[in-house]
């Protein structure tokens, strides 16, 4: 596209800085000198995609290699999409502003289910047929990855290959294999451990819902075993992180201190997909932090981990970082805390946290239900954490809960309200004359069963039941100091259906996209009616995927993906959870 | 403690980033440059910076201004060089000068004139344009409605337009304008384009700011500026 033509589009859209190039630390490599050119796509708007560390790691790994080149592309917002379609202009990369169809490989990360229609839409905007079967030797290879690969089946129709596991571990092998004709390239890709080439497998459904087996057609690898970085400390980490012009979701240095989690909460898919728990060493982290601050000029550094205080040297790390960076006005942020006094003590060292308050995730209202979840947090610990927080000057707490959990009763839901009320009373007492500033934010989401977790078999509550539980909480939590927010039960239902989807859902996602579904995770764009129509036109029922309890002994649509615990271990965990409610 | 004022240009590459984006970008570049920035006190310290009047989104400029405080003595050329090494294409510091120690924090509050050159496409002829300009300048009042502001209000733009002329540029017609700007009320170049009956997308190639300055004191209403400043301090 002519540059001036693109400039004319920029004049007509909101936040044109989403589409310009040249952020500090962006890489511009010689197009002609690169042997394989990769476009990295994030299926959400710039401000969200720029805050995603995974894509930056891959961008860094590929561009550090002399033979390869990586450029980026984020989902254009609806106004830009309309302008592109009106002008008949294809979607381009940020760096060289070349059409995506000029690249050899399109890599799309699948962060969560509600971005899937955006992935199709971006391919379509690039003039690339979304369905793999419709693509020819003239089109780039389309390769997926990210957490969505834990169950690749709903997106299997749209990808030539999907990497199961951590991208930095296998991406260079994938690029090395991505040359020549489509058929030869796919044959080479299918031989790489952890790479799933959907066209070499077939699905035999054994009833309604995701029950059935995916089997290799002619000797393709099975199971497909998740790839992961063995030594996180030595793994490549980008310290020259991209510095956006726009205010993005997280405009700061992200320092990944740990990957994986050993806590074993039974609902948590990330815990399974990022096993085992790995750490970076203190010295490595202090060096990377210094380098990243010097290379970006950000005024905040965030310590990324599922639970940052689980890092074995977290005290030394926080002390070291605040001592080195504090005088320069650089703050440290801990986005994930445990609910205990130790976490609060760590957080106390960090001035920056004071702005936002402290966040804890009790997940459930009673100790009994937390035991079913294997969530290692007692009410006693929560109150001890709150006590420590209030006595060291915090006024705001944020609490995350789920409703619709396995074995949950009405009492468990009422207990959420009761717990919040008691924390409120406790906080008022602890804060004394300053109690007017007390605020407790309560965020309630519907439970979504996820593949490769012990809860994968357990159906989600019907939408109406979730809504009823929500109403119960809304009626009982009416204090001025309580701010209640919740996820739309219809959103949770769709998330559950796609999360536990099989290959047949590809047609539903494709149809929903054709009907206009996109940016489904954005409240203003989510249209459940489009999805209901798509399911019904494809002759499938959403409830078979979202709400059905699956038989423990049946083959499941994602059993060919080996990640985390084996199926018999998951089954044993599920039985322990349901049978006795003990850990 | 020393205070510097920097003049910088915003080029084509970054004309689509907002004034807020520019602030963030400069702040980060200053930190990368390792200048000994003076920080504000409090829980969330940040560099003491102040900025001249915001540039409209989509415009380029040669005359933008900001001021910074450093904790150690430095010379102005050093500030300029170290900062420019850390600025992305599209932002460049062209001039740096230090302010004497007795000067309070520079806030650019006295800047009240901005000059623009608006390059036009060839979809309008010179005579037609000149006729529209003459007609506009002959109007005693130019009332516009600003719906985007809260509270919504109407403004008479005529006294805020100090100069408006058509010149022949290297690459087509250029409207040269000098408009009032600043916290006491100003006109935007886009508003003048609309008043001329022109369409931004069809007729305008580029807005470029060429001047930021202060009116001679005899032009100002006595006491007006001082009154405003006093109120701002009280808040």
What CATH number corresponds to the domain at position B194?
3.30.70.3190
Residues A163 and A30 in one domain: yes
Mean pLDDT of B28-54: 89
**Could you tell me what percent of chain A has a pLDDT over 70?**
98
- What the block records as the tokens of A213 is 């087996």
Say what the pLDDT of residue B25 is: 97
CA distance A518 to chain B (A): 26
Could you tell me the end-to-end alpha-carbon distance of chain A, in angstroms, rounded to an integer?
59
Q: Is A571 inside a domain boundary?
A: no
Residues A40 and A177 in one domain: yes
| CB < 8 Å to A294, chain B | 32, 34
CA distance A57 to chain B (A): 21
Q: Is A583 inside a domain boundary?
A: no
Residues B129 and B203 in one domain: yes
Residues A189 and A133 in one domain: yes
| CB < 8 Å to B21, chain A | 17, 245-247
Residues B142 and B50 in one domain: no
Q: Is A49 inside a domain boundary?
A: yes
Q: Is the pLDDT of residue B118 over 90?
A: yes
CA distance A177 to chain B (A): 36
Domain final residue pick, A302, A336, A370: A336
CA distance A190 to chain B (A): 42
Residues A173 and A293 in one domain: no
Residues A185 and A62 in one domain: yes
Say what the pLDDT of residue B224 is: 46
Domain tally, chain A: 2
Q: Is the pLDDT of residue A3 over 70?
A: no
Residues A49 and A133 in one domain: yes
Residues A151 and A14 in one domain: yes
Residues A168 and A284 in one domain: no
Backbone φ, ψ for residue A64 (5° rounding) = -75, -15
Which of B20, B28, B148 best probes binding to A when mutated, by most A CB atoms within 10 angstroms? B28
Mean pLDDT of A525-535: 98
Say what the pLDDT of residue B231 is: 37
Residues A234 and A192 in one domain: no
Give the closest residue to A442 by CA, choosing from A405, A414, A417: A417
Domain final residue pick, A176, A196, A216: A196
Quick check: A12 and A83 in contact, CB under 8 A?
Answer: yes
**Could you tell me what percent of chain A has a pLDDT over 90?**
85
Residues B132 and B43 in one domain: no
- Cβ separation of B13 and A8 shorter than 8 Å? no
Say what the pLDDT of residue B44 is: 73
Q: Three-state DSSP class for A252?
A: coil
Domain final residue pick, B76, B99, B122: B99
Residues B31 and B123 in one domain: no
**Rg of chain B (C-alpha set):** 20
Q: Is the pLDDT of residue A375 over 50?
A: yes
Q: Is A490 inside a domain boundary?
A: no
- Cβ separation of B21 and A247 shorter than 8 Å? yes
Q: Is the pLDDT of residue A282 over 80?
A: yes
Residues B155 and B84 in one domain: no
Exposed (0-12), middle (13-18) or buried (19+): which is B153, by Cβ within 10 Å?
exposed
Residues B149 and B59 in one domain: no
Q: Is B48 inside a domain boundary?
A: yes
Q: Is B15 inside a domain boundary?
A: yes
Domain tally, chain B: 2
Within the 86-145 window of chain B, which residues sit less than 8 Å (CB to CB) from chain A? 86, 88-90
Residues B122 and B205 in one domain: yes
What's the sign of the alpha-carbon dihedral A279, A283, A284, A286?
Answer: positive
Residues A164 and A42 in one domain: yes
Residues A238 and A112 in one domain: no
Q: Is the pLDDT of residue A143 over 90?
A: yes
Q: Is A558 inside a domain boundary?
A: no
Residues A191 and A232 in one domain: no
Q: Is the pLDDT of residue B225 over 70?
A: no
Mean pLDDT of A250-254: 92
CA distance A465 to chain B (A): 43
Most confident of A289-298, A338-347, B34-43: A289-298
A355 at B interface, C-beta within 8 A: yes
Nearest CA in chain A to B37: A328
Q: In terms of residue numbers, what domain contains B82?
A: 2-99
Q: Is B229 inside a domain boundary?
A: no
Q: How confident is the model at residue A2 (pLDDT cuts 50, 70, 90)?
A: low
Could you tell me the end-to-end alpha-carbon distance of chain B, in angstroms, rounded to an integer?
26
Q: In terms of residue numbers, what domain contains A315?
A: 228-336
Say what the pLDDT of residue A62 is: 98
Say what the pLDDT of residue A580 is: 55
A240 at B interface, C-beta within 8 A: no
Q: Is B107 inside a domain boundary?
A: no
Q: Give the Cβ contact number of residue B136 at 10 Å.
A: 17
Which of A300, A322, A329 best probes binding to B when mutated, by most B CB atoms within 10 angstroms? A329
- Cβ separation of A17 and B45 shorter than 8 Å? no
Residues B122 and B78 in one domain: no
What CATH number corresponds to the domain at position B40?
3.30.70.580
Nearest CA in chain B to A291: B32
CA distance B191 to chain A (A): 16
Q: How confident is the model at residue A394 (pLDDT cuts 50, 70, 90)?
A: confident
What CATH number corresponds to the domain at position A236?
3.30.750.210
Q: Is the pLDDT of residue A582 over 50?
A: no
The DSSP bridge pattern shows strands B2-10 and B91-99 to be antiparallel
Q: Is the pLDDT of residue A280 over 80?
A: yes
Residues B45 and B118 in one domain: no
Domain final residue pick, A336, A366, A386: A336
What CATH number corresponds to the domain at position A82?
3.40.50.280
Question: What whole-number distance in Å separates Cα of residue A138 and Cα of residue A102?
Answer: 9
Q: Is the pLDDT of residue B233 over 80?
A: no
B25 at A interface, C-beta within 8 A: yes
- Cβ separation of B16 and A331 shorter than 8 Å? no
A247 at B interface, C-beta within 8 A: yes
Predicted confidence (pLDDT) per residue in A144-179, tens digit? 999 999 999 999 999 999 999 999 999 999 999 999
Q: How confident is the model at residue B228 (pLDDT cuts 50, 70, 90)?
A: very low
Question: What whole-number distance in Å separates Cα of residue B57 and Cα of residue A339?
Answer: 45
Q: Three-state DSSP class for B3?
A: strand
Residues B92 and B123 in one domain: no
Q: Is B227 inside a domain boundary?
A: no
Of residues A563 and A46, which shows the higher confidence score?
Answer: A46
- Cβ separation of B24 and A294 shorter than 8 Å? no
Q: How confident is the model at residue B152 (pLDDT cuts 50, 70, 90)?
A: confident
- Cβ separation of A12 and B90 shorter than 8 Å? no
Residues B135 and B163 in one domain: yes
Q: Is the pLDDT of residue B136 over 80?
A: yes
Say what the pLDDT of residue B226 is: 42
Q: How confident is the model at residue B221 (pLDDT cuts 50, 70, 90)?
A: low
Question: What whole-number distance in Å separates Cα of residue A316 and Cα of residue A281?
Answer: 11
Q: Give the Cβ contact number of residue A562 at 10 Å.
A: 17
Q: Is A403 inside a domain boundary?
A: no
């Amino acid at each position: 596209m002519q540059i001036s033509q693109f400039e004319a589009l920029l004049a007509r859209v909101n936040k044109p800085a989403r589409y310009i190039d040249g952020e500090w630390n962006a890489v511009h490599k010689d197009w002609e000198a690169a042997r394989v050119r990769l476009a990295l796509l994030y299926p959400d708007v710039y401000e969200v995609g720029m805050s995603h560390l995974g894509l930056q790691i891959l961008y860094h790994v590929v561009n550090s290699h002399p033979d390869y080149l990586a450029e980026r592309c984020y989902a254009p917002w609806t106004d830009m999409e309309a302008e592109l379609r009106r002008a008949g202009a294809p979607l381009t990369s940020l760096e060289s502003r070349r059409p995506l169809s000029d690249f050899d490989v399109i890599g799309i990360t699948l962060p969560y289910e509600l971005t899937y229609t955006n992935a199709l839409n971006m391919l379509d905007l690039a003039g690339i047929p979304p369905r793999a079967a419709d693509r020819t030797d003239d089109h780039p290879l389309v390769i997926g990855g990210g957490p969505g690969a834990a169950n690749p089946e709903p997106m299997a129709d749209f990808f030539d290959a999907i990497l199961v596991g951590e991208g930095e571990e296998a991406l260079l092998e994938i690029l090395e294999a991505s040359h020549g004709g489509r058929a030869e390239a796919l044959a080479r890709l299918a031989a790489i451990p952890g790479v799933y080439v959907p066209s070499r497998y077939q699905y035999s459904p054994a009833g309604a819902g995701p029950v059935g087996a995916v089997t290799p057609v002619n000797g393709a690898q099975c199971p497909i075993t998740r790839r992961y970085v063995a030594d996180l400390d030595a793994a490549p980490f980008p310290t020259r992180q991209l510095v956006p012009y726009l205010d993005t979701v997280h405009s700061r240095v992200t320092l990944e201190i740990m990957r994986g989690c050993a806590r074993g909460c039974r609902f948590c898919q990330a815990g399974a997909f990022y096993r085992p728990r790995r750490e970076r060493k203190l010295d490595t982290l202090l060096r990377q932090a210094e380098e990243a601050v010097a290379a970006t000029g950000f005024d905040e550094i965030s310590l990324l981990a599922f639970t940052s205080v689980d890092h074995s040297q977290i005290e030394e790390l926080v002390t070291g970082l605040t001592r080195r960076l504090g005088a320069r006005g650089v703050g440290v942020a801990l986005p994930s805390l445990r609910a205990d006094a130790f976490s609060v003590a760590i957080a106390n060292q960090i001035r920056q946290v004071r702005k936002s308050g402290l966040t804890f995730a009790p997940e459930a209202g009673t100790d009994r239900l937390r035991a079913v979840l294997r969530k290692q947090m007692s009410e006693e610990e929560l109150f001890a954490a709150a006590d420590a927080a209030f006595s060291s000057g915090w006024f705001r707490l944020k609490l995350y809960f789920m409703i619709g959990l396995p074995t949950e009763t009405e009492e468990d839901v009422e207990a959420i309200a009761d717990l919040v009320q008691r924390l409120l009373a406790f906080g008022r007492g602890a804060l004394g004359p300053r109690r007017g500033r007390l605020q407790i934010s309560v965020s309630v989401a519907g439970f979504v069963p996820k593949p490769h977790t012990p809860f994968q078999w357990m159906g989600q509550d019907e939408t109406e039941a979730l809504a009823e539980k929500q109403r119960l909480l809304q009626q009982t939590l009416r204090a001025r100091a309580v701010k209640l927010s919740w996820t739309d039960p219809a959103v949770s239902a769709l998330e559950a259906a796609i999360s536990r989807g099989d290959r047949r859902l590809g047609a539903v996602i494709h149809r929903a996209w054709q009907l206009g579904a996109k940016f489904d995770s954005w409240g203003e764009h989510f249209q459940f009616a489009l999805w209901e129509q798509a399911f019904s036109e494809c002759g499938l029922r959403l409830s078979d995927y979202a709400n059905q309890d699956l038989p423990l002994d049946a083959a499941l649509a994602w059993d060919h993906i080996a990640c985390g615990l084996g199926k018999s271990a998951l089954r044993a965990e599920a039985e322990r959870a349901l049978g006795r409610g003990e850990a | 403690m020393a205070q510097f004022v920097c003049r910088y240009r915003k080029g084509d590459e970054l004309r689509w980033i907002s004034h807020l984006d520019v602030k963030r970008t400069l702040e980060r570049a200053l930190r990368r440059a390792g200048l000994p920035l003076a920080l504000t006190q409090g829980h969330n310290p940040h560099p003491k910076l102040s900025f001249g009047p915001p540039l409209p989104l989509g415009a380029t400029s040669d005359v933008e201004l900001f001021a910074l405080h450093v904790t150690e003595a430095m010379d102005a050329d050093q500030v300029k060089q170290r900062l420019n090494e850390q600025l992305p294409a599209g932002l460049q510091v062209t001039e740096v000068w230090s302010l004497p120690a007795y000067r309070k924090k520079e806030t650019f509050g006295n800047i009240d004139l901005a000059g623009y050159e608006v390059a036009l496409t060839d979809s309008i002829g010179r005579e037609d344009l000149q006729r529209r300009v003459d007609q506009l300048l002959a109007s005693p009042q130019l009332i516009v409605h600003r719906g985007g502001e809260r509270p919504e209000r109407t403004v008479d733009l005529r006294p805020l337009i100090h100069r408006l002329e058509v010149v022949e540029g290297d690459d087509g017609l250029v409207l040269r304008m000098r408009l009032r700007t600043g916290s006491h009320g100003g006109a935007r170049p886009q508003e003048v384009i609309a008043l001329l009956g022109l369409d931004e997308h069809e007729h305008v190639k580029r807005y470029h700011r060429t001047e930021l300055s202060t009116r001679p004191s005899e032009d100002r209403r006595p006491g007006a500026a001082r009154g405003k400043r006093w109120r701002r301090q009280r808040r």
